[in-house]
Amino acid sequence: MKRLALALSLFLGLQTQAQWVSLFNGKDLKGWKQLNGKAKYEVVNGVIVGTAVPKEPNSFLATDKDYQDFILELEFQADSTMNFGIQFRSESRADYNNYRVHGYQMEIDPSARAWSGGIYDEARRAWLYSLEYNPSAGKAYKKAGWNHYRIECIGKEVRTFVNGVPAAHLVDTLDTKGFIALQVHQVYKPEDIGKQIKWRNIRIQTQNVKFSKDPGIFIINLNKNMVSEAEKRQGMYLLWDGKTTAGWRGAHKTSFPEKGWEIDNGVLRVQPSGGAESKNGGDIVTEKLFSAFELQFEFRLTEGANSGVKYFVTEAENSGASAIGLEFQVLDDDKHPDAKMGTAGNRTLGSLYDLIPAEKNKQALRKIGEWNRGMIRVRPDNHVEHILNGYRVVEYDRGNQMYKALVARSKYEKWKEFGMAKEGRILLQDHGDKVEFRSIKMRELNNIHRIP
Per-residue pLDDT tens over the stretch 218-229: 999 999 999 999
What average pLDDT does range 19-24 have in this prediction? 97
Q: How far is CA 264 from CA 244, 393, 419, in A?
A: 10, 30, 33
Domain edges within the chain: 19-205, 236-444
What average pLDDT does range 10-31 have in this prediction? 76
Amino acid at 331: L
What average pLDDT does range 104-121 have in this prediction? 97
In which band, very low, low, confident or very high, does the pLDDT at 274 lie, cut at 50, 70 and 90? Answer: confident
Residue 2 pLDDT > 70, yes or no? no
Q: How far is CA 57 from CA 85, 261, 380, in A?
A: 14, 45, 45
d(CA 321, CA 76): 57
What average pLDDT does range 156-161 have in this prediction? 98
**235's torsion region: left (phi>0), alpha (psi -120 to 50) or beta?**
left
Contact 90, 122 (CB under 8 A): yes
pLDDT value at residue 1 = 46
Percent of the chain with pLDDT over 90: 90
pLDDT value at residue 8 = 40
In which band, very low, low, confident or very high, does the pLDDT at 167 lie, cut at 50, 70 and 90? Answer: very high
Q: How far is CA 372 from CA 128, 284, 299, 335, 349, in A?
A: 11, 20, 5, 17, 11
pLDDT value at residue 7 = 43
In which band, very low, low, confident or very high, does the pLDDT at 273 lie, cut at 50, 70 and 90? Answer: confident
- The CATH code belonging to domain 19-205 is 2.60.120.560
CB atoms within 10 A of CB 187: 20
HSE of 222 in the Cβ direction (CA atoms, 13 Å)? 21
Average pLDDT, the chain: 93
Three-class SS state of 372? strand
Give residue-wise pLDDT tens across range 126-145: 999 999 999 999 999 999 99
The reply to whether 19-205 and 236-444 are identical in fold is yes
Q: Using a CB cutoff of 8 Å and minimum separation of 24, what contacts does 395-402 make?
A: 396/352, 396/355, 396/356, 398/326
d(CA 404, CA 347): 18
Helical ranges in 97-193 per DSSP H: none
d(CA 171, CA 175): 11
Residue 435 pLDDT > 80, yes or no? yes
Residue 46 pLDDT > 60, yes or no? yes
**What's the order of all strands across the beta sheet hosting 326-331?**
248-250, 284-286, 425-428, 306-313, 326-331
Give residue-wise pLDDT tens across range 285-338: 999 999 999 999 999 999 999 999 999 999 988 766 689 999 999 999 999 999
Number of DSSP helices (H) and strands (E) in the chain, helices first: 3, 29
Q: Give the dihedral of Cα atoms 55, 58, 64, 66; nearest 10 deg.
A: -160
pLDDT value at residue 450 = 42
pLDDT value at residue 446 = 82
- Backbone angles phi and psi of 269, in degrees to 5: -120, 135
pLDDT value at residue 320 = 66
In which band, very low, low, confident or very high, does the pLDDT at 278 lie, cut at 50, 70 and 90? Answer: low
Considering only residues 175 and 405, tell me which one the structure prediction assigns the higher pLDDT. Answer: 405
In which band, very low, low, confident or very high, does the pLDDT at 275 lie, cut at 50, 70 and 90? Answer: low
pLDDT value at residue 448 = 44
Q: With the C-alpha atoms ordered 408, 412, 416, 417, is the resulting torsion angle positive or negative?
A: negative
Percent of the chain with pLDDT over 70: 93
pLDDT value at residue 280 = 81
pLDDT value at residue 324 = 94
d(CA 138, CA 147): 13
In which band, very low, low, confident or very high, does the pLDDT at 71 lie, cut at 50, 70 and 90? Answer: very high
Contact 293, 442 (CB under 8 A): yes
Contact 374, 296 (CB under 8 A): yes
236-444 classified as CATH 3.30.300.30: no
Amino acid at 228: S
Amino acid at 333: D
